[in-house]
């Protein structure tokens, strides 16, 4: 009898647990959550957000989540969130930082019906997922964003994200090493061609210091170096799209393109002077940053975000800056004197799995992070990069960020991609591997170009 | 209410209490995702899209016409073969050592098993440092060229590194199973063999090994399935590099699904892997059982 009773109890509890599980699933679904929110509340919250972004909050308590793919800046974001929550006691922000693979975790969150309210993602990822995103075109937050920073966040004339920072891609230099090499005050504007750059390298080598450094990792070589060949040197945004489409269709071969060959000629030249030449693929950003800071190498192909690694280890008085990557020997080519800037990440809001109240709170959070003085100070201090926000008065401390800002001020920059979807989301991994193989000397340029053609042939037209 | 009816009712309740919870959990975490996964293989879903289109068997055609998938599979076979052989050999030798009555054998058992409880991701990062920096520093200090560069930047050496670390981790786990087998070998048989003049090697070859065939079968089965589905070590030790030369099949599937956002194709690759591993495992179990039955 006891056994029967026990089995009945177990059976009932199991059935109840299963039903409860189903119940939770329904309760968590977007439709149900939306139904529980009175329309007035959502509208009110939205109105309040637009009217007074910093003072008032939604009437009801709202829990939102913020997913960031910007690694190594957890403390900065948590400090900003803490300040936001202090000013908006009704809103609680759950902080979710991406691990090694930003897409995998994002997809997992969506698969479990927990799509983040606000995500900081690459434009290509937002573009691929635009049907889930809230259109921000007519939101007040956009008014504070510099117009030229919005192109990679705009799809078919609609704005789906707010850009984060302006990242400058180029060759970092240690001024002390370069000064010693040129025997005076090194002026980066004297580097106008590939030959000028090689002359500088020769002078640096003459002082007993390695001239330059490649970090042999797929994202740096595949996403940054290679993608220059689809950038400004090709022409206008439409020219770039047409060029990529012609490769996809097989009408153009990479090996026949002057821009590709120009960048690869510069790559070959730099590889000769590579600090890591003995073991080119043992890529480690921290170790290479140390090499530049310690004056073991004079230059380093990277970007102004490298201040995250350099900042904590440089000595007082050390100066660093950013050089453009020349793709030809034409001194009149303004692109050889310009750096590529990229708005590599943007804040977007999910509308597919978040209620209207959550979307309004998410919008409020984005407004805060892109306009509040404290948030801007934190962003500039930690990232060391220029921010594309009109009300931003914070001075950049990072010499690399300042260098980018100077190029921007002189008009010597060009948009790295121009469109959100020019480069596929896996180009860093697939083509990065081909570039690593090339750097290691395991393949020649013709084979590299044919592998790139093959990669593009599997892509859809842009 | 007849006696039979009551008994049947009692059986149903007993099953509901003891069997059904496990069945529901198993179905929820294995069966349903498996069926869902098969369904995805016939779609063009990218893992995020709200609109899903059916593409028939296109994903399977793509899998078999993808040369990189075949390359990854062949690399996985090479990796699995050497890892299975090395881990079983080392695991068996370790088991022999720690069942021989040496001093502190329990301590050694714990020590050799420890890599298993650390986890592949952490082990991968630790060994990544060892292969990339510790060994290279040592190599440079003693002036040995081949040790002065990272093992992980050369395709062959990176694969060897992957095999070494996997075998090192797996052998401790297999050792425990071999220990269970060796301790169940009757003592009198071993003593009788020694009395008949057998050497230590003869005892291992003719007494111990034949009597632990079941343990060997389990170990080989476990090591084959583990190596074919190896992912965490691959991710943290080599990340498929250098230039995708150590991209094992599970890692390849992950990259297809999550980096290239071709979820349907990635899932189709996973189904193909499942079929291959299932066939290999069934064949291995069949032949091992045949061997035991014939004994």
Q: For chain B, say whether A334 makes contact (Cβ under 8 Å).
A: no
A330 and A235 share one domain: yes
Beta bridge partners of A302: A170
Mean pLDDT of chain B: 90
A430 and A288 share one domain: yes
pLDDT of the residue at B295: 57
Please answer whether residues A307 and A239 qualify as being in contact, where contact means their C-beta atoms are separated by less than 8 angstroms: no
Residue A88 lies in a domain: yes
A445 and A373 share one domain: no
pLDDT of the residue at B292: 63
pLDDT of the residue at A39: 35
Of A399, A416, A440, the domain-final residue? A399
Contact between chains at B48 and A3 (C-beta distance less than 8 A) = no
Tell me: pLDDT of A10 over 80: no
pLDDT of the residue at B16: 87
Tokens at B209, concatenated: 């090994």
Residue A5 lies in a domain: no
A238 and A324 share one domain: yes
Q: Which residues of B touch A350 (CB under 8 A)?
A: none
A395 and A332 share one domain: no
Residue with tokens 């290279």: B136
Residue A102 lies in a domain: yes
Q: For chain A, say whether B244 makes contact (Cβ under 8 Å).
A: yes
Q: Which of A 160-219 lie inside 8 A of B, CB atoms?
A: 216, 218
A67 and A90 share one domain: yes
A254 and A384 share one domain: no
pLDDT of the residue at A159: 94
Q: What residue spans define the domains of chain B?
A: 1-40, 57-294
Q: For chain A, say whether B242 makes contact (Cβ under 8 Å).
A: yes
Q: How many domains does chain A have?
A: 2
pLDDT of the residue at A44: 36
pLDDT of the residue at B129: 92
Query: Using 50, 70 and 90 to split pLDDT, how confident is the model at A28?
Result: very low
Closest residue to B261, CB basis, from A11, A103, A216: A103
A297 Cβ contact partners less than 8 Å away, ≥ 6 residues apart: A174, A177, A209, A210, A211, A212, A213, A275, A288, A291
A259 Cβ contact partners less than 8 Å away, ≥ 6 residues apart: A229, A233, A234, A327
Residue A9 lies in a domain: no
Q: For chain B, say whether A56 makes contact (Cβ under 8 Å).
A: no
pLDDT of the residue at A73: 86
pLDDT of the residue at A50: 38
Of A352, A384, A399, the domain-final residue? A399
pLDDT of the residue at A167: 87
Tell me: pLDDT of A91 over 50: yes
Does the domain spanning B57-294 belong to CATH 3.40.50.1820?
Answer: no
Contact between chains at A425 and B47 (C-beta distance less than 8 A) = no
Residue A8 lies in a domain: no
Q: For chain A, say whether B50 makes contact (Cβ under 8 Å).
A: yes
Q: Which domain holds residue A63?
A: 47-166+344-399
pLDDT of the residue at A284: 87
A394 and A434 share one domain: no
**Percent of chain A scored above 90 by pLDDT?**
60
Contact between chains at A281 and B51 (C-beta distance less than 8 A) = no
pLDDT of the residue at A139: 93
Taking the C-alpha atoms of residue A167 and residue A165, their distance in angstroms, rounded to an integer, is: 6
Q: How far is B19 from chain A (nearest CA, A)?
A: 9
pLDDT in tens, A407-442: 888 888 888 877 777 888 889 999 999 999 999 999
**Pairing outcome for strands A413-415 and A339-342:** parallel
Tell me: pLDDT of A13 over 50: no
Mean pLDDT of A70-81: 90
Q: Which of A297, A322, A324, A369 shows the shortest CA–CA distance to A120?
A: A369
Residue A409 lies in a domain: no
CATH classification of the domain holding A272? 3.40.190.10
Q: Determine the longest span between alpha carbons in chain B, in angstroms.
A: 89
Query: Which one is predicted more confidently, A41 or B76?
Result: B76
pLDDT in tens, A372-406: 999 999 998 888 888 889 888 888 888 998 898 88
Q: For chain A, say whether B37 makes contact (Cβ under 8 Å).
A: no
Mean pLDDT of A331-358: 92
pLDDT in tens, A33-65: 333 333 333 333 333 333 334 444 446 899 999
pLDDT in tens, B120-159: 888 899 999 999 989 999 998 998 888 888 999 999 999 9
| pTM, two decimal places | 0.83
Instruction: State the ipTM, two decimals.
Output: 0.81
pLDDT in tens, B215-249: 998 899 889 989 998 999 999 999 998 999 999 99
């Amino acid at each position: 009898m006891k056994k029967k009773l026990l089995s009945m109890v177990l059976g009932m509890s199991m059935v109840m647990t299963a039903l409860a599980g189903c119940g939770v699933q329904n309760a968590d679904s977007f439709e149900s959550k939306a139904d529980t929110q009175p329309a007035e509340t959502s509208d009110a919250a939205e109105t309040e957000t637009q009217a007074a972004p910093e003072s008032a909050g939604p009437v009801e308590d709202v829990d939102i989540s913020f997913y960031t793919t910007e690694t190594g800046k957890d403390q900065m974001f948590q400090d900003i969130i803490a300040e936001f929550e202090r000013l908006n006691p009704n809103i609680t922000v759950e902080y979710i930082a991406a691990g090694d693979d930003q897409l995998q975790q994002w997809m997992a969150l969506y698969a479990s019906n927990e799509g983040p309210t606000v995500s900081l993602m690459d434009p290509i990822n937002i573009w691929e997922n635009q049907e889930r995103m809230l259109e921000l075109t007519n939101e007040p937050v956009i008014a504070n964003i510099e117009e030229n920073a919005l192109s990679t966040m705009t799809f078919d004339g609609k704005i789906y994200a707010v850009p984060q920072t302006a990242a400058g891609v180029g060759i970092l230099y240690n001024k002390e090493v370069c000064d010693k090499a040129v025997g005076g005050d090194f002026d980066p504007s004297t580097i106008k061609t590939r030959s000028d750059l090689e002359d500088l390298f020769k002078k640096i080598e003459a002082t007993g210091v390695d001239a330059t450094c490649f970090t042999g990792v797929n994202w740096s070589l595949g996403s940054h170096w290679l993608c220059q060949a689809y950038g400004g040197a090709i022409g206008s945004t439409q020219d770039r799209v047409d060029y990529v489409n012609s490769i996809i269709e097989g009408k153009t071969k990479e090996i026949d393109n002057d821009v590709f060959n120009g960048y690869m000629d510069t790559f070959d030249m730099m590889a000769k002077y590579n600090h890591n030449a003995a073991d080119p693929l043992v890529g480690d950003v921290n170790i290479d940053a140390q090499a530049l800071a310690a004056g073991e190498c004079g230059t380093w192909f990277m970007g102004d975000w490298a201040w995250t690694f350099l900042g904590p280890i440089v000595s007082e008085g050390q100066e660093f800056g950013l050089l453009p990557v020349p793709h030809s020997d034409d001194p009149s080519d303004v692109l050889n004197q310009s750096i590529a800037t990229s708005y590599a990440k943007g804040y977007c809001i999910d509308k597919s799995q978040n209620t209207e109240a959550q979307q309004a709170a998410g919008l409020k959070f984005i407004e805060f992070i892109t306009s509040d003085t404290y948030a801007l100070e934190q962003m500039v201090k930690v990232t060391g990069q220029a921010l594309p926000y009109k009300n931003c008065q914070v001075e950049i401390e990072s010499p690399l960020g300042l260098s980018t800002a100077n190029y921007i001020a002189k008009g010597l920059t060009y948009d790295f991609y121009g469109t959100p979807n020019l480069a596929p989301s896996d180009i860093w991994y697939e083509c990065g591997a081909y570039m690593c193989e090339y750097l290691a000397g395991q393949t020649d340029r013709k084979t590299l170009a044919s592998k790139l053609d093959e990669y593009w042939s599997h892509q859809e037209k842009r | 209410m007849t006696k039979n009816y009551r008994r049947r009712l009692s059986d149903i309740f007993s099953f509901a209490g003891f069997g059904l919870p496990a069945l529901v959990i198993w179905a929820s975490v294995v069966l349903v995702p498996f069926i869902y996964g098969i369904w995805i293989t016939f779609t063009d879903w990218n893992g995020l899209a709200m609109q899903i289109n059916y593409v028939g068997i296109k994903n399977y055609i793509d899998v078999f016409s993808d040369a990189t998938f075949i390359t990854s599979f062949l690399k996985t076979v090479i990796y699995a073969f050497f890892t299975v052989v090395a881990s079983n050999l080392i695991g068996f030798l370790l088991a022999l050592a720690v069942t021989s009555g040496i001093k502190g054998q329990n301590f050694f058992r714990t020590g050799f098993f420890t890599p298993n409880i650390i986890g592949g991701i952490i082990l991968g990062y630790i060994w990544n440092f060892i292969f990339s920096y510790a060994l290279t520093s040592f190599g440079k200090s003693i002036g040995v060229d081949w040790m002065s560069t990272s093992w992980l930047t050369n395709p062959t050496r990176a694969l060897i590194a992957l095999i070494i670390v996997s075998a090192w981790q797996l052998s401790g786990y297999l050792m425990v199973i071999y220990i269970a087998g060796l301790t169940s070998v009757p003592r009198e048989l071993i003593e009788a063999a020694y009395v008949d003049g057998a050497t230590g090697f003869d005892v291992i070859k003719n007494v111990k090994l034949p009597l632990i065939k079941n343990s060997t079968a389990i170990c080989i089965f476990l090591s084959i399935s583990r190596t074919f589905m190896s992912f965490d070590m691959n991710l943290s030790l080599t990340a498929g590099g250098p230039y995708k030369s150590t991209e094992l099949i599970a890692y390849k599937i992950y990259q297809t699904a999550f980096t290239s956002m071709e979820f349907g194709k990635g899932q189709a690759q996973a189904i193909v892997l499942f079929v291959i591993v299932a066939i290999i495992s069934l064949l291995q179990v069949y032949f091992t059982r045949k061997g035991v039955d014939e004994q």
